[in-house]
Chains A and B, each alone.
Chain A
Amino acid sequence: MSLCRIRLLALTLAIALGTTGPAAAQGVLRIGLNDDPDALDPTISRAYTGRLVFAALCDKLFDVTPDLKIVPQLATGFEWAPDQRSIVIKLRPGVKFHDGEVVNAEAVKFNIERHISTPGSFRKTEIGQISSVDVLNDLTVRFSLSEPLVPLLAALTDRAGMMVSPKAARALGDRLGTRPVCAGPFRFVERVAQGRIALERFADYWDKASIHLDRVEFVPITDSTARLASLRSGDLHLIERASPTDLPEIRGDARLKVVGVPELGYQMIPLNVANGPRSKTLADVRVRQAIDLAIDRETLVKTVFNNEYIPGNQWVSPGSTYYNARFPVARRDVARARQLLKDAGQPNLTFTLIVPPERDRQEAAQIIQAMLAEAGITMNIQTQENVTMLTNGRKGDFEAYFTFWSGRPDPDGNVFTQSTCKGAQNDSHYCNADVDALLTKARQVADPAQRKKLYDRATEIMVRDVPRLLLWHRRVFTAYSAKVTGFTPYPDGIIRLKGLKLN
């Protein structure tokens, strides 16, 4: 390269540096995501980060409040039939999709049918019990169900309740995810795969008075250090699920704010109760109780997570309405654990825990290993990449593995498929007829107080049976620039842009 060209390059760079700075146009909010979302089509989307984008893009029939109450969004109200086998939903008038089409009962019917009939739909398992959708008038629909299912409403607060423009869906077919057309506060502009997703304010949004941003950009940055650096430099205004190890740095920076709320989900170790030949080791309930008793959850959370997370022992966090307060996190009892093992005839219990190569679970596994050793239990740690571990979990090729459930707003989503005999997520193959009956009944009762009673009884049985070790609940930390005001954290970690301002 000649000297002249080098000079030219230097000059170009100098001009570039001079003309652009980190400051961007007013009203553009940039959000850092932990990874790249998959298809932006509510029917076939499955990645968590996709839900953050959808919150700006696609309104739902219902939403949840920060304390998990279900409130109408595209709907204005609902009414269950007395037998809970059908529900009538009234729609908000005057709502438009981004392409100008009207959100009406026909559009809702189209969307629900699309969720159920599209091959490879991930919504079918959530709302597959809807057997038909009837248009009662332009703004009223009735969903008929194949079985009573109260948690259906909660499913409609997430992707299953998102409405896309039927016209766009028909035109784009299974490529709708490349140019989604919904009825949310922002409309789709462009997407660079593994790069940014840009949205701009939708002028005809039904609740436009509460939207104060012109544009939103989502940028996936996998590395947490780099993500935080981008927030500190002003390239990003907000990052989701900030790492607890980064909290001291964030709190020490006056230009940043951070808030945390308990997650909906839980971190757990499913134990192989009856799934194939490898269930032999932990089939005896006393052995499982012994392991459970030998773990000191408070110390675990203090040492590994700096006390930022919440020790837990049930499928909802201790702050939840559905937590059974009669069975709080038990104190560690090594003597009793040893006694139980002796009674079970396995005083020198040895088993293997599969752990994915990820910092949080690896460190927690090591602490648990040391705690169990004090009760005479040898726990071997086997590292396995996440997908491999999950595949082995499904096949029953495990004694124990370390995973989590991200959580759902309705309690049913946290416990039914995980704990019923035929539940799809029940890799332990734990099966208790009473638990099955209670959890099934809880799906058919609309009254929260009555549901709570049913769940309390199921929890009581499961706390005793220990089909899985429920260990802790994370807090979802959202970190943002001090320029951002009006941010309200939600336990699902999804960022709602209504009321949010960038000063």
Chain B
Amino acid sequence: MSLALYVARRVVVLLPTLFFVSVLIFSLQKLLPGDAAVALAGEENDPAAVAAIRARYHLDRPVVVQYGIWMARVLRGDLGESLRNRLPVAELLAAKLPVTVELAVCSMTVALVIGIPAGVLSAARRGGPVDVAANVVALSGLSVPHFWLGIMLILLFAVRLGWLPASGYVPPWEDLGRNLTTILLPSVVLGTGVAGVMMRHTRGAMLQVLDADYVRTARAKSVPERLVVLKHALRNALIPVITLGAIEFGRLLSGAVLTEQIFAIPGFGKMLVDGVLNRDYAVVQGVVLVSATLYVLLNLLADVLYFLANPRLRGA
């Protein structure tokens, strides 16, 4: 099977997935109790004002019709208008996307820099103190709540030491230095969580590969241990780790609700939560659709990489 055919097949599956996601999220939102018009009208929720809002956003029409109106717009490339801000959702998403992507890339970098070397080291020194220490660190990274870690880091680095800003976000094109300082703590918080997962998987994959026949052969040929681990074993072990990395990266791209809230980072997660709480249907739909698309595309990318890296798949 050629790569083109493989990708084409996957894309065909992708479209119904996205359609299903959009139907699901639309119906789930409509199942939420609480009237969007009441939420929007706020404290001065005069019945006339509520009725006007309902009419303006077609909230008085049947759900199927509302979905139809929304879908027809999406197919024309229009994601609608935020009920709360009255700004085009596409514009809001475009403003958040770079922030979310930057946070995801930086967190992933932290995760890779910590996770993979730790996984390799602990596999190579299986059972030794390094292995135990790496496992403890990885487990802590997984189990410590982001919320708590975030606050602790703020208290230490921003309040006590005063080295880093406690919150906020500055775009890199405005001030690269300040941008990096604002993104550092949230990346560490998010990255350490992912690093734990990466470490565990790298370790598992490495252990498997290190037991393989060809590694024994390499050792028998008295290839230095460093080369055995880093060249012979790691390359093969990385294949499942790549897949996992793509999935984790996709998760990071769909926004990190708590971390964004604590550090006041204006990304997808914060937008999504605000959207749900305000019953801002158009915004929630837009965020979910875009992050679902990103997630699915990243999975596709991982599959393609896997396909390229693994000759056995090509025969299937």
Which residues of A are in contact with B by a Cβ distance under 8 Å?
Answer: 1, 6, 9, 12-13, 15-17, 19-22, 35-36, 38-39, 44, 46-47, 119-120, 122, 124-126, 174-175, 177-178, 192-196, 219-223, 225-227, 229-230, 232-235, 384-392, 394, 405-406, 417, 424-425
Contacts and interface: CB of A to CB of B under 8 A. Distances in A.
Given A12-B180, A233-B166, A225 B86 contact: no
A414 to B, nearest CB: 12
B112 interface: yes
A452 to B, nearest CB: 25
11 contacts: A12-B180, A16-B177, A20-B178, A35-B274, A119-B52, A120-B52, A122-B42, A174-B86, A194-B96, A227-B167, A390-B34
Given A125-B49, A194-B266, A235-B165, A16 B176 contact: yes
Contacts of B167: 219, 221, 226-227, 229-230, 235
Given A13-B180, A16-B181, A424 B86 contact: no
A9 B46 CA distance: 56
A387 B38 contact: yes
A190 to B, nearest CB: 10
Contacts of A16: 176-178, 180-181
A122 B86 CA distance: 14
Nearest to A23: B162
Given A192-B266, A226-B154, A36 B43 contact: no
A424 B113 contact: no
B264 A221 contact: yes
B216 interface: no
Contact of A195 (B47, B56, B158, B266): B266
B310 to A, nearest CB: 22
Nearest to B151: A225
A10 to B, nearest CB: 10
Interface of B: 32-36, 38-49, 52-53, 56, 84-87, 92, 95-96, 109, 112-113, 150-151, 154-155, 158-159, 162-169, 171, 175-178, 180-181, 184, 261-264, 266, 270-271, 274, 277, 279
A229 B41 contact: no
B180 A223 contact: no
Chief secondary structure at chain B's binding surface: helix
B255 to A, nearest CB: 11
Contacts of A389: 34
B34 A385 contact: yes
Contacts of B279: 387
A220 B109 contact: no
Contacts of B261: 222-223, 226
Contact of B151 (A126, A229, A387): A229
B201 to A, nearest CB: 17
Contacts of A35: 274
B34 A391 contact: yes
B264 A219 contact: yes
Contact of A233 (B85, B113, B158, B169): B158
A406 B165 contact: no
A235 B177 contact: no
Given A46-B43, A177-B85, A391-B38, A229 B180 contact: no
